[in-house]
Amino acid sequence: MGDFCPAFSATILAASVSVNFLNGGRGDGRYLIGLAVIAAAFTFFKRYWFTLAGGATALLIIVIDVVDATNKFGSTTALVSYDWGIGVLVLGSIVMVATPFVPQRALNRAY
């Protein structure tokens, strides 16, 4: 869900540009969607430990993209601000990482 939300915006010479992770199908959001689908499949089959790798990979992709955007737009006369989509992406990745550590009884009760 966070892939479709505004991730950050840059103001360059009084013009504001808002960017999401999907970026018209060319961004890293497609990898994040793929990781989420794979993690959902592993969760469906109750293989919760595989979601840890997917969540850690998603967090790594998010951090790399945020650092890249800061370096790209921060080196010019641009003002970079992070929007609420970053929070949704990070929260989803943290949930994926935390899933294997939830007690099994709580997961079974949810189904």
Q: Which residue blocks in the chain are alpha helix, DSSP H?
A: 29-44, 50-74, 84-98, 104-110
pTM comes to: 0.77
pLDDT tens, residue by residue, 39-80: 889 888 888 888 999 999 999 998 988 888 777 766 555 677
Residue written as tokens 């959902």? 40
93 and 19 in contact (C-beta within 8 Å)? no
Could you give the CA distance from residue 8 to residue 80 in angstroms, rounded to a whole number?
Answer: 7
Cβ within 8 Å of residue 10, ≥6 positions away = 16, 17, 19, 69, 73, 78, 79, 80, 81
Higher local confidence (pLDDT), 106 or 101: 101
Integer angstrom CA distances of residue 42 from 36, 54, 60, 76: 10, 10, 20, 43
